[in-house]
Amino acid sequence: MTERKQDVARRAEKSPLTTAWDYAPAPEARDIVHIQERYGLFIGGKFVEPLSGERYTTIDPAREEPLSEVAQANKADVNRAVKAARGAFDGPWSKLRPSERAKYLFRIARILQERSREFAVLESLNGGKPIRESRDVDVPLAAAHFFYYAGWADKLEYAFPNRRPRPIGVAGQIIPWNFPLLMLAWKIAPALAAGNTVVLKPAETTPLTALLFCDVVRQAELPPGVVNIVTGDGRTGAEIVAHPGVDKIAFTGSTEVGKAIQRTLAGTGKRLTLELGGKAANIIFDDAPLDQAVEGIINGIYFNQGHVCCAGSRLFVQESIYEATIAKLKRRMRTLRVGDPLDKNTDVGAINSKAQLEKIVSLVRSGVEEGAELYQPPCKLPERGYWFVPTVFTNVAQSYRIAQEEIFGPVLSVLTFRTPDEAIEKANNTPYGLSAGVWTEKGSRILAMAQRLRAGVIWANTYNRFDPASPFGGYKESGFGREGGRHGLEAYVAMDDA
């Protein structure tokens, strides 16, 4: 026997089949990513020093280690970016033949695909999400959005027949930290396809993939000024919103900031789309395929650490299958692997920031204090970084904060119902209305529920599925306007109604 085989045999002897089989670490190499020590602002096709002279440190939330120094743009910087965007709009971009515009979008999509590993590793490093998700969901979907909207660029007349669609001008776009590259794609792809130019601000904690995207913009030889990226915190966002040279604001983030933006824009004539928070109901009927439903529950709430606006954070289980569902759910939760986002076996990564972790901890504490029953599977968390064990609350009343407020973390609240009417009433009892899930084997019940649920997106026998061709957006305090699909283009075109 070779030495290696002997070693394998020895280890097999020591670990009889009755013991748990641990996963060996499978870390993704990070050397594909080159992070600069410091970044400027991407304005007019090149990186420039911030006029503010200010920078802040962006970190890896899984290790609490600094990654880079990033510019904090002020009013003068935003003004410079808006001027560059206006110059590009009045100059070459809006006059370009639509089929030529499409070629740039196709190019960007192809480059994103070619550099997908680099983007996935960087997204996981800066945001804390598992590499499996950034590699298999975020980056491919971001490329798919550019491909999809590239196809529309020279077909706007068909998308909006008899309405003479034309670009609006300069779009100011503000995105959150939960899907940094994907939200960038949701915003930039339709804006460019319709012939607009953009000034985009990534979230303070996750600027790095947006800054890497600037390199893609240069590689695709997009005319300077068509895409401008300004980094900074909420103050930078507020400057973009207030700038008189911006024709349209697209915002994704918290309902609180969304409301503030709406107040600022009232009476200015600027167009606005808001994609805000959610507290989605995931409804399981007693005829649902239970094992698949449990996978859907897990995917609905623990995907991306629950940092998902459409997360299925309120689970409604029909009373007759309550015990069985909870038993299966807890068993499945015990198999979730929490840890290093760059490990390919990781299911739940790091919480995006210290502030977000504190918010989750405080809401979970309120759940316990109000009387809900908490379950967390046994789980060894890394010593450094921001982490939260996947959590489920049972014995939840509708009035509890954990059933009302967006936690934006890996925390599920379980409630029960007896009849479809009761499920609808409870599910709609929220100020939000972004998404919902329905699990049943009856097609007619799916349709009946979908008609009565006040939510923009309703998944049937699945959850958290996205497609560039499918519009996404909310009702009530979840915002207005749609992103994705033909509807997503509409926000970026001005039209004469025939």
- Which residues contact ligand NDP (rule: CB under 6 A)? 174-178, 201, 203-204, 233-234, 237-238, 241, 252-254, 257, 260-261, 276-277, 309, 356, 359, 406, 408
Q: Which is nearer to ligand NDP, 260 or 448 (CB)?
A: 260
Active site annotation includes 133: no
Contact of 477 with 276, CB cutoff 8 Å: yes
Give the DSSP H/E element, type plus range, for residue 411: strand 411-417
- The span from the CA of 274 to the CA of 187, in Å, is 12
Report phi then psi at 400, rounded to 5: -65, 150
Closest approach, Cβ 48 to ligand NDP, in A, equals 20
- The span from the CA of 467 to the CA of 177, in Å, is 20
Closest approach, Cβ 404 to ligand NDP, in A, equals 12
Q: Which is nearer to ligand NDP, 110 or 259 (CB)?
A: 259
For strands 281-284 and 271-275, give the pairing. unpaired
Contact of 35 with 122, CB cutoff 8 Å: yes
Q: Which is nearer to ligand NDP, 153 or 174 (CB)?
A: 174
Closest approach, Cβ 366 to ligand NDP, in A, equals 14
Q: Which is nearer to ligand NDP, 88 or 241 (CB)?
A: 241
- The span from the CA of 186 to the CA of 184, in Å, is 5
Closest to 328 in 3D by CA, of 299, 297, 283, 373: 297
Dihedral angle over CA of 161, 471, 491, 197, nearest 10: -110
The residue whose two tokens read 């089929």 is 99
- The span from the CA of 105 to the CA of 253, in Å, is 25
Q: Which of 123, 239, 275, 483 is catalytic?
A: 275
Closest approach, Cβ 143 to ligand NDP, in A, equals 21
Q: How many CA atoms lie within 13 A of 211 on its CB side?
A: 29
Closest approach, Cβ 101 to ligand NDP, in A, equals 27
Q: Six-digit token pair at 173?
A: 């776009």
Whole-angstrom CA distances from 490 to 62, 152, 204, 255 are 39, 11, 28, 22
Apex CA 278: angle with CA 275 and CA 280, to 5°?
A: 135
- The span from the CA of 125 to the CA of 135, in Å, is 12
Active site annotation includes 275: yes
Contact of 451 with 427, CB cutoff 8 Å: no
Q: Six-digit token pair at 498?
A: 């025939």
Closest approach, Cβ 407 to ligand NDP, in A, equals 7
- The span from the CA of 119 to the CA of 383, in Å, is 26
Closest approach, Cβ 236 to ligand NDP, in A, equals 7
Q: Which is nearer to ligand NDP, 147 or 480 (CB)?
A: 480
Q: Which residues pair with 253 in a beta bridge?
A: none
Q: Which is nearer to ligand NDP, 94 or 173 (CB)?
A: 173
Q: Six-digit token pair at 474?
A: 């909310």
Q: How far apart are the first and last CA of the chain?
A: 83
Q: Which is nearer to ligand NDP, 102 or 142 (CB)?
A: 142
Q: Which is nearer to ligand NDP, 359 or 487 (CB)?
A: 359
Contact of 411 with 313, CB cutoff 8 Å: yes
Give the DSSP H/E element, type plus range, for residue 259: helix 255-265
Report phi then psi at 38, rounded to 5: -145, 150
Q: Which of 309, 477, 483, 490 is catalytic?
A: 309
Q: Which is nearer to ligand NDP, 195 or 277 (CB)?
A: 277
Chain position whose Cβ is nearest to ligand NDP: 237
Closest approach, Cβ 388 to ligand NDP, in A, equals 13
Closest approach, Cβ 146 to ligand NDP, in A, equals 21
- The span from the CA of 232 to the CA of 42, in Å, is 12
Give the residue numbers marked as catalytic: 275, 309
